[in-house]
Chains A and B, each alone.
Chain A
Amino acid sequence: MHEVGIMESAIDAVLRQARAHSARRVHRIVLRIGALAGVEPDGLRFAFDVVTRGTLAAGAALEIEAVPARAYCAACDADFPVDGGFIARCPTCSALSADLRSGRELELSRIEMT
């Protein structure tokens, strides 16, 4: 359950922002999670409730935006969507790619507060 550790780190960042803006309450938090980040959105949601308890962010809405994975094929000089799970195979030439251009995101992207 490393989702708890990741969420603790996220809420630290949220609360830092909230204090910087002299916010009294955090209403909504948006995270961007890559399809290949190896992190379970359900695990994050569970951790969110636990980690925000008793903080300015208690009761805030958590929105998780999924970022689809894309990889780059050097032979074709083109990006392509990775739709085979963690196997990035170019749809044009069938070569395997290790060059992920997106899909590993673990980001805090928006905070709404009063």
Chain B
Amino acid sequence: MNSTPVAPNPAEDFEVHPLSGAAARPARQLSGPLAPEAAATLDAQVRAVDLRVPLLEKNDLLAERNRGYFLGRGLATLNLVSSPGAGKTTLLERTLDEFGRQTRCAVVVGDLETDNDGLRLHRPHAPVAQITTGGTCHLDAAMIARGVESLDLAGVKVLFIENVGNLVCPASFDLGEQVRVVLLSTTEGEDKPLKYPPIFKSAHLVLLTKVDVADALGFKRDVAVANIRRIAPQARIIQLSSRSGEGLPEWYDFLRGLAPAAKA
């Protein structure tokens, strides 16, 4: 970071032409529209600071703090993002009932209002914290830090963060997660990755959900997969259905493989 004056110092003194009848005064005492001399004096005080500060510095720092905390506890952390209704909560319900029986899991779930999802996910064997954002369209790292504080993480190996249903805003906010999971359901269009590319671009894993009804909907899985690949060649893709159970073993294998600590 360096700071440099923009303009050189102007001469301290200047002259007012006596023909105008005005008394000679320093420019800073002039009122009304600025005389050119006065503007020059103002310019001289302008300081320019060049820097490279991330606009989301505060969130980024908190996210790193969260990441360190999760790592230190041996927690595998996943941030689940999708449009509303893509099946995040349903997938987590079944995951807690099956995978969660062998490996202790916890959930932080965010919504604009209501604790409906928190209640749906509530299980004696899995601590759940509900965050209501009161209108904010995404979870941020500070909300996660507070949400996690309220959880009993003893023995927990996998922490799921169910983000607010929104395919745009959560893309910009790092929560400190290890894995960003984007869900795309067959009730949406095959071209959604092309229409909402930032979130897919940042995905480590894309889950194509509700594949049991793909045929009935005329949803072309191969087209959707090709579109995901174009935007996010780095992402692993798992096709699954939380209802029929198709693809769930692959999802559970993925969870087991995340961190040695997460192994059942």
Residues of A within 8 A of B (CB): 1-2, 5-7, 9-10, 12-13, 17, 21, 23, 27, 31-32, 36-39, 85-87, 96-98, 100, 106-114
**CB-based contact B57/A38 at 8 Å:** no
Residues of A within 8 A of B194 (CB): 86
Complex contact A113–B233 (CB within 8 A)? no
Q: How far is the CB of A102 from chain B (nearest CB, A)?
A: 13
Which one of A31, A85, A87, A106 contacts B56 once the chains associate, using CB atoms below 8 Å?
A106
Nearest opposing residue in chain A for B59, CB measure: A9
Judging by beta carbons under 8 Å apart, are B231 and A111 in contact?
no
Q: Which secondary structure dominates chain B's binding surface?
A: mixed
Count chain B residues whose beta carbon lies closer than 8 angstroms to a beta carbon of A: 39
Q: Is the CB of B47 within 8 A of A9?
A: no
Q: B217 at the A/B interface (Cβ < 8 Å)?
A: no
Binary interface encoding of chain B residues 143-162 relative to chain A, with 1 for a CB under 8 A from any of its CBs, else 0? 00000000000000000000
Complex alpha-carbon distance, A23 and B168, angstroms: 36
From A1, A110, A114, contact of B45 by CB (8 A): A114
Q: Are A114 and B47 in contact (CB under 8 A)?
A: yes
- Count the A-B residue pairs with Cβ separation under 8 angstroms: how many? 99
Q: Which of B34-66 contact A (CB under 8 A)?
A: 42, 45-59
Whole-angstrom distance between the Cβ of B261 and the nearest chain A Cβ: 27
- Chain A residue at minimal CB-CB distance from B53: A108
Please tell me if the beta carbons of A10 and B51 are within 8 angstroms of each other in the complex. no
Main secondary structure of the interface of A (DSSP, over half): mixed
Question: Once the chains bind, are B48 and A112 in contact (CB under 8 Å)?
Answer: yes
Chain A: minimal CB distance from B204 (Å): 10
Which single member of A1, A32, A96, A109 contacts B229 (CB below 8 Å)? Answer: A96
Residue of A nearest to B49 (CB): A111
Residue B244 lies at the interface, judged by CB distance under 8 Å to chain A: no
Q: In the bound complex, what is the Cα–Cα distance between A96 and B45 (angstroms)?
A: 50
From known contacts A17-B49, A111-B49, A114-B46, infer whether A87 and B55 are also in contact, taking CB-CB under 8 Å: no
Q: Which of B3, B54, B173 contacts A107 (CB 8 A)?
A: B54
Complex A-B, nearest 4 residue pairs according to Cβ-Cβ distance, in ascending order: A38-B198, A86-B197, A98-B234, A2-B169
Q: Which residues of B contact A108 (CB under 8 A)?
A: 51-55
Query: Could you list 11 A-B pairs, sorted by A, with CB under 8 Å?
Result: A5-B136, A6-B172, A9-B57, A37-B198, A38-B171, A38-B172, A38-B201, A96-B229, A97-B233, A107-B54, A108-B53
**Contact A107/B52 with A2-B138, A13-B57, A96-B230 known, Cβ cut-off 8 Å:** yes
Nearest B residue (CB) for A99 = B234
Given contacts A2-B168, A2-B172, A86-B198, contact A31 B55 (CB under 8 A): yes
Residues of A within 8 A of B45 (CB): 114
Whether B137 sits at the interface, judged by CB under 8 Å, is yes
In the complex, A86→B84 CA distance in Å?
23
Contact of B172 among A21, A27, A106 (CB under 8 A): A106
Q: Are A6 and B3 in contact (CB under 8 A)?
A: no
Further contacts, 18 of them, CB under 8 A, given A2-B169, A112-B49? A2-B138, A2-B172, A7-B55, A13-B53, A21-B49, A27-B46, A37-B172, A38-B168, A86-B197, A87-B231, A98-B234, A106-B55, A106-B172, A108-B52, A108-B54, A110-B48, A110-B50, A114-B45
B232 within 8 A of A: yes
